[in-house]
Structure 1
Amino acid sequence: MGYPAGQHSTVKQSRKEIELAEAKLVEDKQAEDKASILSSDTVLVPQIQEKIRQIASPMDAALEGRNRQNPLRPDWEEIKDEVMLQVLRMKFSQNPEIAKELLATGDAILIEHTRNDDYWADGGDGSGKNKLGLLLMQVREELKNSNP
């Protein structure tokens, strides 16, 4: 006959362990959702989409999605901002805590300060387009307007 798991039992999960497990499930679901957008018809050719869908680890799938050898759809340059906007909307709608953090930035200008990226970031010296910062500010305004 078994005994109930006590507070210090090695078989009893702590609240922290449960929270971490729940967070991992949410993170995996979000990664799956993002991958479904980023590896769908909007971005990659069908053969690469399927290859990425078969990868078990969200991190490995993300790395494969960033592989510059994978062919993108021909109009990717024209649609990439809209795809990123969809991903950001999904991210902040599924994560109330980080949505609060974004809203807490008020009317601040948001800058993705990365020297290795002059499209999504500022190029490290302010010469980049900072598209991610601009899209984050757009999502922040949408969140403000949806929660007056």
Structure 2
Amino acid sequence: MPSNSQIRKYKRSECITFRKTKEAFGGLSNMAAGYPLNVNGIYIRTSEALYQACRFPHLPEVQKLIIAQNSPMTAKMKSKPYRDQSRSDWDNVRVKIMDWCLRVKLVQNWDSFSSLLLATGDKPIVEDSHKDDFWGALSVDYETLSGVNALGRLLMQLREDIKYNPEKLEKINPLNIKNFYLCNQLIQSIFKDDQSQRNNELIMPSIFDYKYEEIRGSNLNVDKTIIDRETVSLPSENKQNLINNIFDDYVIPQLNSILIKPTILKDILKHFPTITQGQMKEWLSLAQDKGFVNVNKQKNKTLYVLRSTEKQINNEQLESEIKQLFLLK
């Protein structure tokens, strides 16, 4: 139980809250897809999987089991049977480890994650949890949240570092704790935008099923033509499933963090360096058909915005955003 001195109270109307990963600020969650990590050359789909793996430096096979899961929730569930074998100092180091995981998530997904954090302005960031008052805060009533909100406070500190101490984020050192290992390897420093740690092409192993071992780990670009080339041995229905899974597991979570404000196609493409303009238009059209994205045309410019965000912006605010974006007089 958290002590009273640790508890914070928040007014929901004055905060940025997150619970579901597909909400406007859902990318702040450790469960959010679309923020892949690479530690010591090992691909990890989410910060949740990395955090859970860090419980077990002395059990590399358990770490591999956790990392191999397609879903962050499944990764968390796979760790549960081994919780009583967590590193002996877990309760003392877990906040440090969470902070380290968030910093790795930031430096390896700089454009999308820093933009999302900065979009919170100066408001308190709170994980709106239904049961965890340590990492998040619980609803006391319709307006009030109460809890330690450790995750939210770490995210707020990270936001401050982006604004005022960006040099601290050029290099993320391994934690100075004993046995900081991943899969039998001592964890090394991670550098912002280090392409030796992250391939130029976006590798999406989260879309693979284990029975397709022959393509696991290949340099699978999200471009449909490369999907066809790399998965030529798969039945056609599985190729389509592969493409659909990329859209649901990667494209939509990325758009959730990018399209908080009306955005033009050129700026969206900056977050998808290996995607062609034609492919991105297809993804955006599909997102519009599924009700995730709205399209607005303004003076021969096409703007894309999350439908959930647009509902919160009245016409006057939207016009202001558009004018600011295109410097219209």
TM-score, normalised by the number of residues in structure 2:
0.32
**Partner of 2:108 in structure 1?**
94
Question: Identity, % of aligned pairs?
Answer: 30
With CA pairs under 8 Å and 6+ residues apart, which has the higher RCO, 1 or 2? 2
Q: Is residue 104 of structure 1 aligned with residue 119 of structure 2?
A: yes
Shift of 1:25: 9.0
Q: Is the strand fraction higher in 1 or 2?
A: 2
Shift of 1:143: 1.1
**Partner of 1:124 in structure 2?**
139
Q: Is residue 51 of structure 1 aligned with residue 62 of structure 2?
A: yes
**Partner of 1:9 in structure 2?**
none
Q: For each residue in 1:64-116, what CA deviation from the matched residue of structure 2 results, as whole angstroms up to 9, or x when unmatched?
A: 12x15432122111111110001111112122212101112121111111121
Task: Please identify, of 91-100 and 114-123, the stretch whose mean Cα deviation from structure 2 is larger.
Answer: 91-100
Alpha-carbon distance in structure 1 between the residues aligned to 2:94 and 2:77: 18
Q: Is the helix fraction higher in 1 or 2?
A: 1
| Residue-pair matches, total | 120
> Paired residue for 1:134, among 150, 153, 172?
153
Q: Is residue 144 of structure 1 aligned with residue 163 of structure 2?
A: yes
**Partner of 1:14 in structure 2?**
none
**Partner of 1:85 in structure 2?**
99
Alpha-carbon distance in structure 1 between the residues aligned to 2:34 and 2:135: 28
Shift of 1:37: 5.5
Change (3 A) 1:39 1:109: same
Whether the aligned pair in 1 keeps the contact of 2:47 and 2:105 (CA below 8 Å) is no
Alpha-carbon distance in structure 1 between the residues aligned to 2:158 and 2:107: 10
Alpha-carbon distance in structure 2 between the residues aligned to 1:86 and 1:137: 14
Q: For each residue in 1:8-64, what CA deviation from the matched residue of structure 2 results, as whole angstroms up to 9, or x when unmatched?
A: xxxxxxxxxxxxxxxx89637342776455424xx22623x4123046324243331
Whether the aligned pair in 2 keeps the contact of 1:111 and 1:130 (CA below 8 Å) is yes
Change (3 A) 1:74 1:99: same
Alpha-carbon distance in structure 2 between the residues aligned to 1:61 and 1:85: 19
Alpha-carbon distance in structure 2 between the residues aligned to 1:113 and 1:33: 18
Alpha-carbon distance in structure 2 between the residues aligned to 1:33 and 1:115: 20
> Paired residue for 2:36, among 22, 27, 50?
27
Show the 5 A alignment for 1:65-84: 65=79, 67=80, 69-70=82-83, 71-84=85-98
Whether the aligned pair in 1 keeps the contact of 2:56 and 2:62 (CA below 8 Å) is no
> Paired residue for 2:77, among 44, 58, 63?
63
TM-score, normalised by the number of residues in structure 1:
0.66
